[in-house]
């Protein structure tokens, strides 16, 4: 009887060892793959892009014996390059240079009955360039609201005709200031789009025209011009250097 019990115990022990060995040989199920979290959206980095929109100017020429002014609008388009840095959560500071050409051109004529002088001024505004600093806040991960300001340059000219005589072309690159703001949206990995408005003021500029062909200007006609402009622009930026990348 005792011998029979020992045989049963030995058989059970052998069977348990065999079952454990078979279980060890079975393939194990691999753990489920968990993709890494996407990198956080950041506005830190540099960019290059293009823009297009409208420009609206107010130009005035004061000759003392009369004044001519014009409100004009046209197309503007060009490119921009800049860099941003995000800090303290959603705050962003940056610097940008934008250069745009314009289609602005308009002439105006006035007649002074006292001096019997008819004067025509053809105003042109061929380009503007702005260098601005900006500060903004990312109120949502992919949205940036910003304001900006800085220095502006513009190339403008005025063709002056008095009593039918062309007395010269007054061409000058003017320096002024600009301020504005807008909103920018990072819509894809490395790409953003913006809508903004800006105001530019180039102040007063003095000129003198001397021509013996026009008696009233034989000793010189002094006059001043003033130019202000506003722009509404849409544009797109490509953010490079591995920064400013939004997840899909």
Give a yes or no: residue 57 inside a domain: yes
Phi-psi category of residue 143: left, alpha or beta, with phi > 0 → left and psi -120 to 50 → alpha:
beta
Q: Which of 199, 204, 147 is nearest to 174 (CA)?
A: 204
Strand extents, DSSP E, 22-116 = 45-62, 67-87, 91-112
Give a yes or no: residue 12 inside a domain: no
- Mean pLDDT value across residues 89-114: 85
Give a yes or no: residue 87 inside a domain: yes
Neighbours of 30 (CB within 10 A): 6
> pTM of the full predicted structure?
0.73
39 burial level (CB within 10 Å; 0-12, 13-18, 19+): exposed
In this predicted model, what pLDDT tens digit does every residue of 105-137 receive, in sequence order?
Answer: 767 676 777 666 777 777 778 899 999 999 999
Per-residue model confidence (pLDDT) at position 130: 98
Give a yes or no: residue 137 inside a domain: yes
Q: How many independent structural domains does the chain possess?
A: 1
Residue 244 pLDDT greater than 50, yes or no: no
Q: Which of the residue ranges 26-35, 81-90, 94-103 would you say has the lowest mean pLDDT? A: 26-35
179 pLDDT band, cuts 50/70/90, is very high
Query: Which residues are bridge partners to 83 per DSSP?
Result: 46, 95
C-alpha distances out from residue 209 to 125, 159, 161, 216, 227, Å? 20, 11, 11, 10, 19
Q: Is 25 helix (H, G, I), strand (E, B) or coil?
A: helix
Range of the domain at 99: 42-240
In this predicted model, what pLDDT tens digit does every residue of 43-85 receive, in sequence order?
Answer: 999 999 999 999 998 877 766 656 666 678 899 999 999 999 9
Asked if 239 contacts 196 with a C-beta cutoff of 8 angstroms, the reply is no
7 pLDDT band, cuts 50/70/90, is low
Q: What is the enclosing helix (H) or strand (E) of 185?
A: strand 165-188
Give a yes or no: residue 197 inside a domain: yes
246 pLDDT band, cuts 50/70/90, is very low
Give a yes or no: residue 14 inside a domain: no
Per-residue model confidence (pLDDT) at position 5: 56
Give a yes or no: residue 205 inside a domain: yes
Distance CA 200, CA 179 (A): 7
Distance CA 231, CA 180 (A): 9
**Domain of 71: which CATH number?**
2.40.160.20
37 backbone dihedrals φ, ψ, rounded to 5°: -65, 140
248 pLDDT band, cuts 50/70/90, is very low
- Mean pLDDT value across residues 93-114: 83
Q: Is 166 helix (H, G, I), strand (E, B) or coil?
A: strand
- Mean pLDDT value across residues 222-237: 87
């Amino acid at each position: 009887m005792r011998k029979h019990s020992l045989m049963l115990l030995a058989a059970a022990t052998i069977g348990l060892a065999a079952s454990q060995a078979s279980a060890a040989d079975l393939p194990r199920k691999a753990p489920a793959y968990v993709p890494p979290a996407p990198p956080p959206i950041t506005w830190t980095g540099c960019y290059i892009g293009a823009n297009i929109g409208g420009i609206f100017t107010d130009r005035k020429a004061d000759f003392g014996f009369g004044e001519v002014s014009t409100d004009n609008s046209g197309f503007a388009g060009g490119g921009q390059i800049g860099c941003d840095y995000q800090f303290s959560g959603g705050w962003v500071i940056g610097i940008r240079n934008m250069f745009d050409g314009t289609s602005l051109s308009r002439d105006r004529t006035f007649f002074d009955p006292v001096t019997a002088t008819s004067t025509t001024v053809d105003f042109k505004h061929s380009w503007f360039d702005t260098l601005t600093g900006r500060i903004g806040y990312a109120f949502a991960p992919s949205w940036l609201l910003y304001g900006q300001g800085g220095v502006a340059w513009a190339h403008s000219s005025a063709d002056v005709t008095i009593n039918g005589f062309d007395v010269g072309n007054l061409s000058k690159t003017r320096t002024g200031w600009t301020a504005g703001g807008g909103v920018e949206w990072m819509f894809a990995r490395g790409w953003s789009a913006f809508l903004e408005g800006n105001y530019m003021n180039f102040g007063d500029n003095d000129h003198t025209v001397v021509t013996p062909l026009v008696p009233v200007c034989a000793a010189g006609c002094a006059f001043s011009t003033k130019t202000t402009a506003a722009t509404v622009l849409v544009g797109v930026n490509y953010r490079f250097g591995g920064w400013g990348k939004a997840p899909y």
